[in-house]
Structure formats: structure tokens, C-alpha cells
Homo-oligomer: A and B are copies of this chain.
């Protein structure tokens, strides 16, 4: 294997400029899934991918998930492109996922250059919308396969792929396809790999093995039948906003400690083994405070910040619907308000239990107020966390590949947010999922001047290939 991988690495280095040109070609397709006027471009991007894989000999299946209503218009959802490259019973089968749609971007948002033209900067940044999220990574798999074929190198695994065009818009239609195809197109998958997240820092690669879940709540307080004037009614009726701020203030303290009884009971304790994974991570409060502009960091130790990002539940208050929200002054008493808050959940919390605890607590606190208003807790979303052991052979393969390319052991990270497709694959295919990021923490995936560093792009193409070679020689049943 070493020989093949070395040859592959050499070829990637030789083809750097060509690979950047391919990235340029796809960045120029403004496949913005949230913009109805760009739907044709999203479809074009999906078709570009399918054509290129078919040219290579992959067998593809285009699934059109149906219709959506966007900006009052009925639109076809962009296709999910399923593919199979190689079908050798003696090889393992790796399923990779990625998305070919991108976030919106306008020059006037503050981009230094046209967002849909790839610009290579002197410092090595390849700037353009989608460069890191997620066009760079999906090209990585394609260019890896093309390079192997062109050089006559044996491709180490059977590759299945699933590329969607709606990730930035809630992956509408995707889950049903995964459920439906679990025993069909996805049958025989040994492991899954997703390259759609980022390193913890700017220089050290990582493997990601956990994501938090999220339970979202609307806390509704209703009073009179219509908004009232505070001059006339202030001090004479129970005001929904007053009750709401009292209730919201009971949920969490300024240090992020959740005040709802029972919430911490289901949280997995930190083991010694886990504690070790926080050593030597590329993460510093100094850098974080700089990014935040103001040091509003709660915890004194870096590892505590990471624990509260990755492995402890947290509660955030997002806003209030139904109250006055514009600049200026308005003397309204809002009749019906909804406080919006969410909990990030971690192993082994159950969303159902979380909703029960939240509701019971708020009902008890509301009763204490003695208000004549009506209160209701509505759980609008309850998505589970995802956690995988970093000792699984799939991760071992990812770690070895990283060492081969970057010469360092990767950080073992988790993420505070959620990537729901991870759990959908794990639960429906019953196989391990590895998150293997290509980009760095400062890529600005959803911001202006999104970039991928030339290093991350080129080494990333190597990394994905090296990973497939490692999977080929690793016992996945261990």
C-alpha cells in the first residue's frame, strides 16, 4: 500500500494547479439553495458532479426529492446524486456524503472579491463561496478517484456517494431518501465518512467523534385578546412580557449553569480516558477572545470551555416573538409573546425527558407567579446528539491517514452544534460514521471571504485518499 499511496501523493502534488482550476470551475456555479432564482444553478452543479463521476465510470442514480415552496414559488428540489464507484466483493465499501449547494453571498455583504470567482491570495487562501463548504471536500473524493484512474493505481475500496443540493436549506427531502435507500443503494456499506466540518484551530488536523443534539422550545405567555396601550393598562393587567422575563430568568444563570432540576442527571461523567483527549488541543482563550472582539468567556480553563461546547448541556435564549423589536420607543403591552430558547443536549440525555423536565419546571415556576395569563411550553424540535468512540477502526484509519499526510496525531474533537445527517446514516445503515474535516477553523464557511487554504485543499485531497487506503487495510470488525 505504501507504494501506491506515495505515488498518489506525488501525483496530487504535481496536479495542484489543475485541482485549483477544478475548484475554480465549481465555485463559478452559484449553487445557492436558499435563492429561488438560483435553483437552476444548483441543479447544474449536481449535474456537473454526476457527469464527471459517470465519465470516470461510476454508476449514478439521480433522485429528485420532489417540490418545495420558496419565496411563493413552487420549485423542484435539487437532485440527490447517489453513486457507486467500483464493485469488488473483496474490497470494503465506504460511503461518503457531501453537499454541492452553498450559502448565499453578495459582493455588497463585504466580500473583498467577487464571491463566485475563485481568487488565490499570496498567503495561500483560495477565496470563494463554497471553497471550503463543501465544494472543496466533495471535489476531494472525485479528484482522488480520477487521479488513481489516470495513473493506473488500484482504487483501494468500493466507493458509494451521496451528494445533496439542499444542505444549507435544511436538507429538505434527504432523510426520506436515506431511509428508503438504506437497504437498496446503500446496502453493503462498511463505514461512512463525511468531510463537512472544520479543524478546531488553524494548523492542527482533527477527527470529530461527537455532536450535540438540540431541543428547541417556545415559551408562550398569553394575556389580553389584543395588544394594549401601556398608558391605559400598565399596572392594571398581568403583562405577558413581565411573566415571560420572570420565567426566562429562571432557566439559566449568567455563567451558563442550567437551573432546571434533573437536567444534569443524565449527563455522562468525564472519564480519565476522555480527560486525556483535552491535552494538547489546538485551542486557546487568547485566540478565542480575539475572535469574539470582547472577552466574554465564562470559564477560566480552555478545557472547560471545550467541555461546555462539546459534552455538557447548555441553554441559550434566542429572542422573543410578539413583542416590540424595532429601534425606537413604542409603549405597547404585547398581548401574546413567545420566548425562544434551546438546549444543546449530550450523551445520555433523551429529548423526551428533556422536554418533560423543561415543561414541568416552567409550569411550577409559572404557578408561583400567581398570574392570570395563560402559559404554554411548546417543543418545536428535539434532535438527538451523536457520539462515536474515537477508538473505532474507522477512526483509527482516519488517524493513521492524518499522520501520514500531516505528520501529527489529529486532535480528537467533538462539536457543539449538530450535523443531523450523521445520525441519520448511523441509525439507518448501522455502521460507523467518521467526520474527517478538510478545512480549518478560520475558513469562514458561512461568512464573507470564505476560503480554503491551498495547503488544506491539496493535503486534504491526499488525506481523503490516504483514509481510503487505510480503511482498506484496517479490520473494521475489531
Contact = CB atoms under 8 A, between A and B. Distances in A.
B329 A381 contact: yes
A315 interface: yes
Nearest to A250: B249
Nearest to A243: B254
Contacts of A326: 321
Given A234-B344, A292-B237, A321 B325 contact: yes
Given A236-B297, A333-B316, A418 B327 contact: no
A386 interface: no
A149 interface: no
A238 B296 contact: yes
Nearest to A337: B319
A241 interface: yes
A83 interface: no
Given A254-B371, A318-B334, A319-B323, A214 B231 contact: yes
Interface centre among A245, A313, A416 (most CB of B within 10 A): A245
A91 interface: no
A324 interface: yes
Given A231-B212, A309-B233, A370 B255 contact: yes
Contacts of A416: 231-235
Contact of A248 (B236, B245, B255): B245
A298 interface: yes
A124 to B, nearest CB: 25
> Top 10 A-B pairs ranked by shortest CB distance?
A225-B293, A231-B417, A235-B314, A319-B324, A319-B323, A230-B316, A234-B314, A249-B249, A325-B325, A235-B308
Interface of A: 212, 214, 216, 222-226, 228-239, 241-243, 245-246, 248-249, 252-256, 292-299, 305, 308-309, 312-321, 323-327, 329-334, 339-340, 342, 344, 369-374, 380-381, 415-418
11 contacts: A216-B329, A231-B416, A238-B298, A241-B318, A242-B317, A295-B372, A316-B331, A316-B333, A318-B329, A318-B332, A319-B323
